[in-house]
Structure 1
Amino acid sequence: MERVESPETYIDLFLAHVAEISEDATLSDRLIGFINTNNLEEDRLEKIGNVFSNLINVSGKRVYYLPSVYEQKNVAIPPEERLHHACIYADLATIKKIAAQSPELLDLLAGSPQLSKLMIAARYAPVAVVQFLLENGADASITDSDGWDALHHACQAGSLEAAELLAFEKSLNATTTDGATPLMLAAGNGHFAVVQFLLKGGADTSIKNANGVNALHSACQGGSLEAVQLLILKIDPNTIGARGTPLMVSVYCEHLAIVEFLLEEGADPALTDTNGWNVLHHACLSGSLETAELLASHIDLNVTMTGGQTSLMAAAQNGHQAIVQFLLGKGADASTKDSAGCNALHFACIGGSLETVQVLTSHIDLKATTTSSQTPLMLAAQNGHFTVIQFLLEKGAETSITDSNGWNALHIACEAGSLEAAELLT
């Protein structure tokens, strides 16, 4: 078998190797055979092992046998490291053996990040491993360097059975160093069953993290409509956190079903975040045409955010030509300027989407200038958008106009260092 250098390539090679050998061979034999065939150096085993840890199932079984690979290569590893790997790969026999010999290792924080064995099992292993560790004295209240305990890890991973074992009263509402609760972590990762369990257990929905984010914000990011439907019974849909309202979060994450549900439940689309952005601004930034179409009937298309920008400008700068066309068709005002005197065409020329520029030139004068007397052509030259410059010139854009510094488009292209633009403009 050919030797390769990229660790990721070993996944494909290993799967090919598995297919070549007997179906009754154990996974450990397969993995050891593969390692030996490729003659891997000892200092590469850990790196390759990390790649293999992503192989969740091979022939219906987990890859549990990285410690066996170390032994086969005569690499001495301490019990702590063996226990760490055993918890990741759910090797319960090894866990039991080491726990009997060195029970103090169960609560020792190790690895990067620093995790206890119970945290590792809660995140990666079947519930039987979590149960064994708890029955043998593992401390569920220990936290890692980020303030996460085992329940936080179980909720992040979506392990309902592990969460049920770990959710004793004093940890149910424990917060991490940035203020996240188990409920927020389950909601933020779309784990509806875990959210449902935590709520039945009395999880506090009023808690906010350091950024003012609550569990409903998290659920709108996680994308579980069922979780949102549960949490909205307890949390005001118009609360504002660092990323705005729950509706804004669902818009930005493009969870259309959640957007529709929140609007039906009274979420206010006119609210703005700390930048003065409303939900339509966010939809135009993210580029979701379906979301923009849904929101356009709920909000004024020409409302400006901080700095005077409109939704049309946000879509234009980010090259979302379909949204630009939709907004124009619904009556968005293309002549509106922001506090710097930029209109939607100026923003499109900054962004560089030729298709968007082509749509807007039918609505906006090519000679329109900003407060610093810059034309769309100058902004395209400043940003090196060759095809946009070429199109604007074909449409009759004037190259002789100068800005407030006395610079024309050629000056600006040369200052920006764009040879192609300079050649077009000479």
Structure 2
Amino acid sequence: MDASLSRALVRLTQEGDLSSLQSLIHSLGEESVIDQHFGRSGDTLLHYAARHGHLHVLQYLHELGVPLEVCNNDYKRPLHEAACMERLDCVRFLLLRGARVDSLKKADWTPLMMSCTRRTLPVIQELLAHGADVSLKNKDGWSSFHIACREGSAAAVRLLLQHEESAWTSESKTGRTPLHTAALHGREDVVELLLDRCAYRPDQADSCGVTPFMDALRNGHLSVARRLLEKHKACPTAVDRLGARPVHQVAVTGQNDALEFLVKELRVDVNERATALQLSALHYAAKEGHSSTIRTLEELGADLHAQDAKGRTALHMASIGQHAEAVSVLLELGLNNCPDSSGTTPQQLAIKPAVIQAFQSRH
């Protein structure tokens, strides 16, 4: 088909101009559009109509003979499009005409999962009323319940629990629970609901040993972390599989308020070591180049001259990461160019001109 005609068909469908679309299709012949896919995505006109919510166009194309289960290049059906874009009328029409409620697109996403990326309850309700399976998982092991918890709609989470009371027990392929997901994204209302309604174990860890409390803190969600402490008795010194504790994890992500919360309010040892390499929070902050976190740690009483199992100081770590500002801050705070146990000095690790300059400027 001529490219200009293809563009015209797509445009008219997207605009919902049924009269003009009918005229164009009539002139081309109905057979020319029934199996026609457009663009890089391979969408059909039915996909475009469902995505833009033009029910009258959807009805016309269906009557014309365009299959309801037609797939684009990502195996998306029109129902996926309608569910994702919150097109309730189109969702209802497709389901009543026999579209499969649990059809899978690429990465094994169902229409229900797509609808849970939004917050429109009527679409979720419609899919559930037609038998959508809450327990199905995508390729990463995420269920619709995980996705709803990530998006933060307590109403959607409550609806899914009412439909399937065991939905909360779902875990991803890495052992992450919906509580991990809600905590990670700072969804306080959802966390509150999950703690009230579900029987998660305190400090239930994923395959990396990460707890919901760790997820909340390292992403700066202090109110969620407090809730997990108060209602779930989370442990502020739990250890992940690498031996890192929350104080190390928040240093990695540069969450200064979380550091102060742990050290000042929870009395966590700022100089606690992690892993077989005996890294401190200061080592982690320096390696990531978080200059403000280095200063915060110094104010909280961090041992600036602490060495890891290889005799490296935070200055070594800042040099390894090629973080010029962090190097400057550590030199300003009094660290010197002492070698590690292999005889390597921090300055010898400097490669970038700015890092080299940071050392030279202190001499």
Q: In 2, distance between residues paired with 1:113 and 1:232?
A: 37
Contact 2:16 2:57 in 1 (8 A): no
Partner deviation per Cα, 1:90-134 (whole Å, 9 max, x = no partner): 11111111223327x1123x1132112212111114211111111
**Is the partner of 2:107 in helix, strand or coil?**
coil
Question: How far is 1:242 from its partner?
Answer: 4.0
Aligned to 2:226: 260
**Is the partner of 1:257 in helix, strand or coil?**
helix
1:153 correspondence with 2:153: no
Tell me the amino acid that sits aligned with residue 159 of structure 2: F
**1:194 and 1:348, CA in 2 relative to 1: closer, same or farther beyond 3 A?**
same
Partner deviation per Cα, 1:313-347 (whole Å, 9 max, x = no partner): 11112221221111111111122222222111111
Contact 2:75 2:104 in 1 (8 A): no
TM-score by length of 1: 0.72
Q: In 2, distance between residues paired with 1:253 and 1:112?
A: 35
Contact 1:122 1:159 in 2 (8 A): no
Q: Extract unaligned runs of 5+ from structure 2.
A: 36-43
Match of 1:118 among 79, 98, 102: 79
**1:367 and 1:204, CA in 2 relative to 1: closer, same or farther beyond 3 A?**
same
**Paired residues for 1:9-408 under 5 Å:** 42=4, 45=7, 64=16, 78-79=33-34, 81-102=44-65, 105-108=67-70, 110-168=71-129, 171-201=133-163, 202-233=165-196, 234=198, 235-242=200-207, 244-265=210-231, 266-297=233-264, 298=266, 299-306=268-275, 307-380=277-350, 383-384=351-352, 386-396=353-363
Q: CA RMSD in A?
A: 3.1
- Structure 1 residue ranges, 4+ long, deviating more than 3 angstroms after superposition: 41-46, 62-68, 74-77, 352-355, 362-365
User: Which structure would you say has the larger RCO, counting Cα contacts within 8 Å and 6 or more residues apart?
Assistant: 2
Tell me the amino acid that sits aligned with residue 229 of structure 2: L
Q: Extract unaligned runs of 5+ from structure 1.
A: 1-40, 54-61, 397-426
Aligned to 2:41: none
TM-score by length of 2: 0.83
Identity of aligned residues (%): 25
Tell me the amino acid that sits aligned with residue 203 of structure 2: N
Q: In 2, distance between residues paired with 1:79 and 1:90?
A: 19
**Is the partner of 1:219 in helix, strand or coil?**
helix
Question: How far is 1:170 from its partner?
Answer: 6.2
How many pairs align? 339
**1:65 and 1:254, CA in 2 relative to 1: closer, same or farther beyond 3 A?**
farther
Tell me the amino acid that sits aligned with residue 68 of structure 2: L
